[in-house]
Amino acid sequence: VSEVRVNDLGLSDDEKWLTDRWANDILWTIRVRRVLREVQSDYQRVQVLDTPRLGRMLVLDGNIQCAEADEAGYHEMIVHPALCRRGARDQIAGRRALIIGGGDGGAAREILRHPDVSRVDLVDIDAEVIRAARELLPRIWQRPHGDGPLDDDPRFHVHCVDGIGFLEAVKEPYDLVVVDASDPVGPGAQLYAERFYRLIRGVLRDGGAVAVQGGSFWYLPEVFKLVYHRLSSVFPMVKPLSCFTAVYPGGVWNLHLATLGDDPACVDEARAARLSGCQFYSAETHASAFVLPPVAMELLEQEPLALDEVSARVERLTAKD
């Protein structure tokens, strides 16, 4: 846990604080009640912290991934617009979904909220993340209506392998792919390459869609641009959308939703209305999420930087001085 000089904050010396370095000149600090796990895996430092304000949170290499109090804002919006868009209406029953990354289980929980989904494959490279979520994040790693852990759902399957290798070996197509990857540094960088999106295109069924964690038009504009343009070079229809988050820089994060042609902003109202238990997703928030400010849309008209330059900038942005 990164210690802040608490006396600068006028706080007592015996408390623990986590500081997430949003940028090397912007720090975000939250009080920590207990460190529930801290382990160095083969890929990253994995922490689970218990905080008074946001509940339990997963932190990888010092970057907050998700927190119990607000994670639904992100996980509902990376899943439901793709499954409730009008273009998915004619999909056959028994839809299949693949999540690459997403080891906290939040996206899987939201996909399982759809009764016509017959299979969810969760592929996270790091078994330590899966173990931490399964053992210490029961409010995220759970079935949609809170009736037991994800593992109790026969539709749910976990694979602790690299997402690219998994895609190369896929035999049966999917209706939805969710790329819930960390930022383009470390093991996550390869999940931003054009080749990766082409592999996804190759495993999608007709009417399928891919939803991707897409940076922030404000805090990570180069990631926002890169994901949009890489997807656009593979898919005929790509639209950015926004979601609420308390723990990512700025409170609003961007996702990108790509389809084989249908407009993802068009809502299947009946299907959206059948979803129960959502805190952030509705037919209205589905439609409004795709309305981004002009400053964001103008960014997408610019050419993106190369992936290695984007990775280097993200590293520099959050590097300690």
Provide the annotated active-site residues. Answer: 180
Supply the DSSP string of 265-311, one letter for each residue. TSB-HHHHHH--S-SS--HHHHHHHT---HHHHHHTTSPPPPHHHHH
Q: Which is nearer to ligand SAM, 162 or 262 (CB)?
A: 162
Q: Which is nearer to ligand SAM, 103 or 144 (CB)?
A: 103
Look up tokens 């539709």; give the residue.
Answer: 155
Q: Which is nearer to ligand SAM, 144 or 184 (CB)?
A: 184
Look up tokens 């005929």; give the residue.
Answer: 236
* CB 157 to ligand SAM: min, Å: 14
* CB 18 to ligand SAM: min, Å: 16
Interface residues with ligand SAM (CB under 6 A) are: 43, 60, 65-66, 100-104, 123-126, 129, 162-163, 180-183, 187-188, 190-191, 213
Q: What angle do CA 87, 76, 192 make, to 5 degrees?
A: 75
Q: Which is nearer to ligand SAM, 91 or 254 (CB)?
A: 254
| Two tokens, residue 231 | 């997807």
Q: Which is nearer to ligand SAM, 144 or 187 (CB)?
A: 187
C-alpha–C-alpha distance, residues 219 and 208, integer Å: 30
Which residues sit opposite 21 in a β-bridge?
A: 27
Q: Taking the chain, what is the end-to-end CA distance rounded to the nearest angstrom? A: 18
Q: Which is nearer to ligand SAM, 99 or 267 (CB)?
A: 99
Helix (H) or strand (E) holding 230, with range, is helix 221-232
* CB 129 to ligand SAM: min, Å: 4
C-alpha–C-alpha distance, residues 32 and 19, integer Å: 10
C-alpha–C-alpha distance, residues 151 and 315, integer Å: 35
* CB 65 to ligand SAM: min, Å: 4
* CB 9 to ligand SAM: min, Å: 26
Tell whether the torsion through CA atoms of 232, 78, 187 and 159 is positive or negative. negative
Please choose, from the candidates 180, 170, 241, 245, the residue with its C-alpha nearest in 3D space to the C-alpha of residue 201.
170
C-alpha–C-alpha distance, residues 208 and 96, integer Å: 10
Q: 58 near 47, Cβ under 8 Å?
A: yes
* CB 193 to ligand SAM: min, Å: 10
Closest CB to ligand SAM: residue number: 101
